[in-house]
Structure 1
């Protein structure tokens, strides 16, 4: 369910007006017994109604696009919007032919300090941020902890690990993930927005490179002059351990 929420959150980045996932048994299992969920007869009636919501089997759409997640390698951004993303093994692309698009592209690269054709793997990392409403869920902390277990945080990296809610913070403790993270040299901060949008003192200094699991990377998002590379929790974990942007599949 957490992954579905992230998909819906980020569908807007692909040009959608909104994102939806039809309710199914996974949805019902997730909702059953929660504080504000109906119970008893009301629960049965709610589920019966929810089962009517998915599109009909013969529904027709203007366009259908299918992606196989197995074909998508870890993604990172090289520019200043979430659309400027590449597979972690791919080089920064060449400038587009369109004059206006090229101007925006070159401005973004100048801000980030990257060059056309350059690889992001091996780029020195100063900060790592695990958090936000998009990737501060319990699944993200499980993923991060599974990678760093038995390793140590790189001494040159400042890492901010921020649960998306107090409920997630409690789950982290209940599952013992906090112990795993502490042994690897990480500290869990209080739940909130934190470095997702440079709240309070959680700002990345100008010029420093941050690998962030947030969903925005425009100029100054994590602090005036801060450079943000968006990535998933595994890539963030690998960066925190190795001190450079690293493909987690290789290490």
Structure 2
């Protein structure tokens, strides 16, 4: 049977049955858990006297609440310490693999699973975290789920889900220098809207994605959720296989050849039928910065903040709210906006290649006076690899702080928070009100290279001018 997308094939091969509600009961191949959404789920299991059905299919780490400056235990934050202890105990009780601080494998859940080869093509993956769509970069179908669904996966290894439509987003051509994967996804969300993907899985295709490294593909898939899509994926290819080969959990020997043959077979068919197709020209995408309170409120760095009359009627109310909250004036250039804090990290842009690219622009320059800038590696492995290359020394010499692995100021469930109405240049994925730890704090999303440009200039700047 041809004419099928990867999404159709993976969905079909993991279908356990159709429920009376019309939803599919879907088998979940890999379940990732962390300290924030799992304590209540384990509590529900204990209340019902249930076991974890397949403990070997669940992997745990700590990321959201871990401090990135001082990781001595017990944590100063009592609630954070309680969450840590709860996860440690549950993993021990149920026999779940756990990567704790100091294991050498701890880090942001969406960074550690790919780097260890846990994430593989054709899998179904679930995690109690919005940005689980990251794993779709490998040709997996990956869903962020709620706490009660975390319980369901622990107890049954399945989820009740409604099948999605599939939109193919094709981007072709070569990116201009200074334009990155982050700019592509911000441009797509700006164009299609934060609700454009509701009810869809996004398949990212075209020559631009084919030319990308796995880490760049992860950046794009990570933010599918910000465009309203339930998941986003890229068909596995030689780039995927080369990345996975010899990683800890990748198949070995004869199993490797069988795996590659199967991974190749699940690619979307040449004549696959899509519910919608949208195309973009890579050459037309510029370094992109958000100005508002949703990831869809983005503009090219050389553009002005849109005026209400330039926006569709449906977007004017949220724009008005954004002008007020962000304290920005419609019609003024985004370039030149003063910055207080610069953050490089997160599951979107905290991998080694992100830090390597950022370091190129930090080398020989210095953070502007009055700006606090810091770099948070996405995992203990990323930190170790970056230090082996001397990237930490480059950042420290440039006036950045160099931290331990964690989610840090992406969502500020830890000591890394904005103060008052500080404005932040951030390589993370969300710019919602209060997202970075202050109810009046303001977030501008951009690529890691653009964050460095903002840090050294003390204002939103075009990274191409530093080239």
Q: TM-score per shorter chain, which class?
A: over 0.9
**Structure with more relative contact order (C-alpha pairs < 8 Å, separation 6 or more):** 1
Query: Partners of 1:67 and 1:143 in 2: how far apart?
Result: 24
Partner-residue secondary structure (3-state), 1:201? coil
Contact 1:206–1:223 (CA under 8 A) maintained in structure 2: no
Q: CA-to-partner distance for each residue in 1:154-191, whole Å, 9 max, x for gaps?
A: 12110121111111101101222112112212221111
| Gap runs ≥5 in structure 1 | none
Contact 1:206–1:227 (CA under 8 A) maintained in structure 2: no
In the other structure, the counterpart of 2:303 is 90
What is the TM-score with the length of structure 2 in the denominator? 0.52
Largest Rg, 1 or 2: 2
Query: Partners of 1:59 and 1:92 in 2: how far apart?
Result: 40
Q: CA deviation at 1:97?
A: 5.3
Contact 1:220–1:226 (CA under 8 A) maintained in structure 2: yes
Task: Say if 2:367 is the partner of 1:153.
Answer: yes
Runs of 4+ in 1 over 4 A off after TM superposition: none
Task: Say if 2:325 is the partner of 1:104.
Answer: no
Q: CA deviation at 1:8?
A: 1.1
Q: CA deviation at 1:247?
A: 0.3
Contact 2:304–2:334 (CA under 8 A) maintained in structure 1: yes
Query: Partners of 2:365 and 2:332 in 1: how far apart?
Result: 29
What is the TM-score with the length of structure 1 in the denominator? 0.96
Partner-residue secondary structure (3-state), 2:248? coil
In the other structure, the counterpart of 1:246 is 461
RMSD: 1.3
In the other structure, the counterpart of 2:335 is 121
| Gap runs ≥5 in structure 2 | 1-213
In the other structure, the counterpart of 1:55 is 268
My pick for the range that moved more, 200-209 or 89-98, is: 89-98
Contact 2:450–2:462 (CA under 8 A) maintained in structure 1: yes
Query: Partners of 1:67 and 1:168 in 2: how far apart?
Result: 32
Query: Partners of 1:101 and 1:69 in 2: how far apart?
Result: 25
In the other structure, the counterpart of 1:162 is 376
Mapping for residues 3-152 of structure 1, pairs under 5 Å: 3-95=216-308, 96=311, 98=313, 101-152=315-366
My pick for the range that moved more, 188-197 or 63-72, is: 63-72
Query: Partners of 2:233 and 2:290 in 1: how far apart?
Result: 25
